[in-house]
Amino acid sequence: MFEDLLRTRPAAPFDVALPTAALEEYREQGFTRIDRITSDEELEWLRRFYDGLFEERRGALPGGYFDLSRPYESGGEDLQPQIILPETRFPVLLETAFFHNGRQIAARLLDEVPEHLEVGGHMIRKPPRIGESLPWHQDEAYWDPSFAHEAVGVWMPLDPATLESGCMHFIPGSHRQDVMRHRHVGDDPNVHALVVAEPVDEAQGVPQPIPAGGASFHHCRLLHRSGPNRTGGVRRAYANEFIAPRVRRRERAVRPWFDQTREAWSQRDKVRALPTDRDA
């Protein structure tokens, strides 16, 4: 089926720009959004691509498909499956309007040249009714503590992301702090998802409903979460993380949860080394 999809990618240009007010909002709050980042045609094409990948339960690289909410290799129904780095198997995903617009806007937010940014994609699927929530975290908590990171996550729902279907929630201004202490969900390092291990003022959280084909942009240290999917429809999301050239820290930050993930990952059968900087 992928061969067919590769032949039929809608290639009409679709350029969007970030309004100045959105840039200011990002600087102030650590996030912003636009109502459209790609065309209807590309959105439909991406949905078919996305569904094909999840039906395989295989991922783009060995070990690159797993349930975020349960221990690796759990049997039965997945509550929140994730595919990391789909573009490594299908570079065509780097030719989409979603990618190009995301990179242009991320570069503007990061004050960088688009071509200098690294990218890591991931897809998170919340199945109808059983789709799990993802608790409060900062994306940088997942990444190699030997480096300091500046990055923007470009997050696009392929279905309407609503309060009921599991939209994201952001805490405005929380990107100004350092990486907080995190732990694994259920205190099990075989569960990939992390949760912040310090108190969070939940009342500060602002829900971010986004229409299908819209996108939010959030800083890698912004505290965020997503709700469960209580609807009868699937909630599919596709995100690209755009990372500015990384700076090695003089001293590696102390993040034991990161080392636990690495250890748990290395114990899995048939996996490729964890692409640590790109999997959150």
**Minimum CB separation from Ni ion for residue 116, in Å?**
23
Residue list 149-188, contact with Ni ion (CB under 5 A): none
Query: Which stretch in 35-43, 109-117, 137-145, 204-212 sits in contact with Ni ion by CB under 5 A?
Result: 137-145
**Minimum CB separation from Ni ion for residue 180, in Å?**
13
Query: Which stretch in 82-90, 122-130, 139-147, 205-213 sits in contact with Ni ion by CB under 5 A?
Result: 139-147
Please give the C-alpha separations between residue 81 and each of 4, 87, 270, in angstroms, as whole numbers: 25, 17, 18
**Minimum CB separation from Ni ion for residue 83, in Å?**
15
**Minimum CB separation from Ni ion for residue 233, in Å?**
22
Residue placing its CB nearer to Ni ion in the complex, 92 or 197? 197
CB-closest chain residue to Ni ion: 139
**Minimum CB separation from Ni ion for residue 74, in Å?**
21
Question: Interface mask (CB under 5 A) for Ni ion, residues 90-129, using x and -?
Answer: ----------------------------------------
With tokens 């617009």, the residue in question is 101
Residue placing its CB nearer to Ni ion in the complex, 42 or 140? 140
- 3 state SS for 75-126: CCCCCCEEEECHHHHCHHHHCCHHHHHHHHHHHHHHCCCHHHCEEEEEEEEE
- Which has the closest alpha carbon to 175: 224, 209, 208? 224
Residue placing its CB nearer to Ni ion in the complex, 42 or 280? 280
Residue placing its CB nearer to Ni ion in the complex, 78 or 140? 140
Q: How far apart (Å, rounded) are the C-alpha atoms in residues 259 and 189? A: 9
**Minimum CB separation from Ni ion for residue 132, in Å?**
14
Q: How many CA within 13 A on the CB side of residue 156?
A: 27
Please give the C-alpha separations between residue 103 and each of 58, 144, 153, in angstroms, as whole numbers: 27, 22, 10
- Buried/exposed 249-277: b ≥16 CB within 10 Å, e otherwise: eeeeeebebbebbeebbeeeeebeebebb
Residue partners of 147: CB distance under 8 A and separation at least 6: 246, 247, 248, 249, 277
Query: Which stretch in 58-66, 121-129, 138-146, 225-233 sits in contact with Ni ion by CB under 5 A?
Result: 138-146
**Minimum CB separation from Ni ion for residue 52, in Å?**
24
Residue placing its CB nearer to Ni ion in the complex, 158 or 196? 196
**Residues 227 and 192 sit within 8 Å (Cβ to Cβ):** no
Residue placing its CB nearer to Ni ion in the complex, 88 or 138? 138
Residue 139 binds to Ni ion (criterion: CB under 5 A): yes
Positions touching Ni ion (CB under 5 A) are 139
